Amino acid sequence: MSVYTHKKSSNALAPKPPTPSSGRAAFYDLDGTIVDLNLVHAAIFTLANVGEWSGRVAYLLGFAARIPRLYVAERRDRRLLNTVLFEAFKGISRDRLLSLGEEYCERILIGHLFPHAVELIEANRAAGIEPVLVTGSPDFIVAPLARHLGVADFAANRFVFSRGRATGRLAEPVMAGDEKAAWCANYAAGRNIDLANCWGYADSHYDTAFLANLGHPVAVNPDRRLRAAALSRQWPVIHFESAAASQPLGDFESAQDPKQDIERSTRGSDGAA
Amino acid sequence: MARPEGKLKELKTAELRHEVGARSDLVVKLNRRSERRVIPYGEEFLFEKLPVGTRVIYPPPPLDPLADPDQAIRYAILHPENQDPLFAQLSPNMRVTIAIDDISLPLPQMRRPDIRERLLNQVLQTLADYGVDDVHLVIATSLHRRMTEAEIRRVVGERAFKQYWPDRLYNFDAENRAELAMLGKTEHGEEVWLSRRAAESDLLIYLNINLVPMDGGHKSVAVGLAPYQSLRHHHNVETLRDSHSYMDPARSALHRSSDRMGKLIHKSLNIFQIETAVNTRMYGGMLDFLHKNEDRFTDWDRTRLKGFQWTMRNLSNEMRRNLLHNYAAPYGMIGVWAGDTEAVHQKALARVFQQYAVPVKGQADILIVGVPYICPYNVNSIMNPVLVQCTAMGYLFNMYRNKPLVREGGTLIICHPLRDEFHPEHHPSYIEFFHRCLAETTDAVELEKKFEREFARNPTYIHMYRYGNAYHGVHPFYMWYWGEPARQHVGRVIAAGCEEPEVAARLGWEAADTLDEAIAMATSEQGRSASITYLHLPPLVIADVE
């Protein structure tokens, strides 16, 4: 089982012991679910900034050569897509990936978070539902994002390194399809969480098994096949809009105590009462 | 200036036809030669032979609509009940909020121009004439789903939409805590919350449509612009069990509670209520035969019915739904009143009862109702099993004054295919309610105690309500409570034509493949001499049961 627990000072990529359980968890896919970018964008950014111009060109050409395979892989199997995509990272040093991951998160990813997704994560957290990220993105990108969102645990794909350089292979388990479901089951078992009480949010039909494993699956901005699955399985469908398209509607607070609700609103209504 | 409704007095024949006492022909007892009866059955209509002796209650014919609705609206605004005319209440620097009934009324949606568009155009013109600029238009959705842009545009019309959308024309948001204000508590301890914008306005104008007597009055503002914190005081099992019926406001604890809240609101707000009533012209053109007594069907009527049935049978569920929900009813406005809420509502109620009430002698052992494709909570959406329950047991059962149409311990037969089908964006919490809560218990008190608060505060459902087009998380509970008086009253509920018996079982009902089988099941218990009543729909009818 590969559980990552975020910690401020140490290596964020190293597996950590499980954190105490709150009894309920919400598992979020990343690409297309809480950010309006995808894995390929992250890969291109990384390869385009990896080193000297000559190196960048070589990596990008290598990536371009993989496009037909990536297309076929995307149509057939998400695990294969991840495997083919991350082969392009072969030879990049671990420290460079870590710094690029930080940069990508800070410069790009955070700006592309769906504002309503962030609100929902916060609202769930306020309701005692702990957020967990479960994604096929590489850990060097997910770790800084998890830190930004205050998410303690996440599951992401990890590269196999040799002498400090990526080998182009992914460590098992590769986070895609059924593996996500298995990871969630292990995660829940380790924390004595009942998956029937857990929520799951994802956007792709490859995540059907992941969502089906949870008591409260939600299809977010679903692709055509996930939408069909959601309709037939009667899963709620939710739409997040990008920051540019969404309009803030006001404060979102999810108080658990009715007295708190009343006090909060009473304070606000002095002028009208 | 003569009141336009006054012209109706001249229409002697129509007037006589609509005297409640002169409506004995609207209650028909079937004999051997009687024609089969049209019965709503989801997105289809059945044409079924009912047992000899069955009593069929027909809605009164539509009252004649006002000849010039715009003139009538002008008259109402200039001659309000117990208030100064609207123009006399205006000053340039004042803050005005106009609240508008949402998509749940009327059913089906009415042909354009919608009554609300007519009202808005006149009210907005008056406000503009008197220099009032600070005007907001709020769709009074309460915990209903947000109306979409296209739906709002259709209801308010191009003029208001272009001028006010989206900054000053929007859906009420019952979960935006910053936009709610608590006005106080009633003498019964009910907390009264309201839209802050409305509460802080110098004048609140409410634009209403009364489809049935349950609508309008204090309920418009006290419910339409209120959040869960207010609604839980009357949308609960105890209150609804004490409502006999929802269509008889004088005997409805629900209305008593919303009246108390409304009175408290009136102490701090200046409200100018505009209420309208529509006639029963629900279907026109090729579908006008649906209003007829089947014994008077012509060959052309039968051909149209068969054509309609064939078309519906051969379309996919989605196409059928689109076709039906796009249909617009040729409702006619039969009255408009403005001014003080209570005075206005009394006049509107009288008119609504004049349109809907039919005197009926005695209760029946078995009541048959057909549930159509639409109810207030599935406009442009799917009629899921919880809503079928609400429509049959909450609305159709309650279409009475004095006594229910079926005797205590009697049998209610509900015609609907009853499929396990939900809209994932409009009714997400209904899915969990049906599959999780109802699987555990159908006892409303237990559901209320055990699950209501969890659903009401569920972050995902709140999110979908605020940013999507979902009904609030607590809404399926209200739909279940709505059927509580019927559940307390009837002894047995049978779903006739049920395609998925496990759905009926989940609702606590029995299932029958056909209406004949359902009637046989009911008479096996009630006896062969059991009296049967069929409440004919469409359109709507309210039985004054003696």
A82-121 per-position pLDDT tens digit: 887 788 888 888 999 999 999 999 999 999 999 999 999 9
pLDDT for res A2:
46
| A21 has pLDDT over 80 | no
User: CB distance B431–A236 less than 8 Å?
Assistant: yes
Query: Among B302, B291, B301, which Cα is nearest to B536's?
Result: B291
Name the residue among B173, B453, B464 with its Cβ closest to that of A238: B464
CATH superfamily of B25-58+361-545: LarA, C-terminal domain (3.90.226.30)
Q: Which domain holds residue A208?
A: 4-37+114-238
DSSP-derived letter for residue B288 is: G
Domain of A31, CATH number, reads: 3.40.50.1000
| CA-based nearest residue in chain A for residue B461 | A236
* Alpha carbons B257 and A20: distance in angstroms, whole number: 46
At A22, the pLDDT band (50, 70, 90 cuts) reads low
Residue A46 covered by a domain = no
| CA-based nearest residue in chain B for residue A26 | B460
- A256 near B CB under 8 A: yes
At B24, the pLDDT band (50, 70, 90 cuts) reads low
Residue A17 covered by a domain = yes
| B231 has pLDDT over 50 | yes
8 A C-beta contact, residue B535 and residue B543: yes
* Alpha carbons B18 and B25: distance in angstroms, whole number: 12
Q: What is the pLDDT averaged over residues A44-51?
A: 81
Class of the B75-278 domain?
alpha beta
Task: Give the pLDDT confidence of A230-252 residue by residue, as tens digits.
Answer: 999 999 999 998 876 655 444 44
Residue A164 covered by a domain = yes
- On average, the pLDDT of chain B sits at 94
The two tokens of residue B471 are 């009904």
* Alpha carbons B384 and B413: distance in angstroms, whole number: 18
Measured over the CA atoms of residue B308, residue B311, residue B316 and residue B321, the dihedral's sign is negative
Residue A168 covered by a domain = yes
Query: Among B469, B280, B281, which Cα is nearest to B379's?
Result: B469
pTM of the model: 0.89
Residue A107 covered by a domain = no
Amino acid identity of B320?
R
Task: Give the pLDDT confidence of B253-266 residue by residue, as tens digits.
Answer: 999 999 999 999 99
- A251 near B CB under 8 A: yes
Residue A81 covered by a domain = no
Task: Give the pLDDT confidence of B271-303 residue by residue, as tens digits.
Answer: 999 999 999 999 998 999 999 999 999 999 999
Chain A residues close to B470, C-beta within 8 Å: 236
* Alpha carbons B13 and B15: distance in angstroms, whole number: 5
Task: Give the pLDDT confidence of B47-71 residue by residue, as tens digits.
Answer: 999 999 999 999 999 999 999 999 9
Residue A128 covered by a domain = yes
* Alpha carbons B51 and B49: distance in angstroms, whole number: 7
| A260 has pLDDT over 80 | no
Residue A54 covered by a domain = no
- The distance of A208 to chain B (nearest Cα, Å) reads 16
pLDDT for res A4:
55
Minimum mean pLDDT range among B16-20, B211-215, B342-346, B406-410? B16-20
Name the residue among B432, B463, B470 with its Cβ closest to that of A120: B463
The domain spans of chain B are 25-58+361-545, 75-278
pLDDT for res A70:
74
The two tokens of residue A85 are 């995509």
- A15 near B CB under 8 A: no
Minimum mean pLDDT range among A54-68, A213-227, B17-31, B447-461? B17-31
| A58 has pLDDT over 80 | no
The two tokens of residue A184 are 């969630």
Half-sphere exposure of B296 (CA within 13 A, CB side): 10
Q: Is B145 helix (H, G, I), strand (E, B) or coil?
A: coil
Q: How many CB pairs under 8 A join A and B?
A: 115
User: CB distance B182–A265 less than 8 Å?
Assistant: yes
pLDDT for res A60:
79
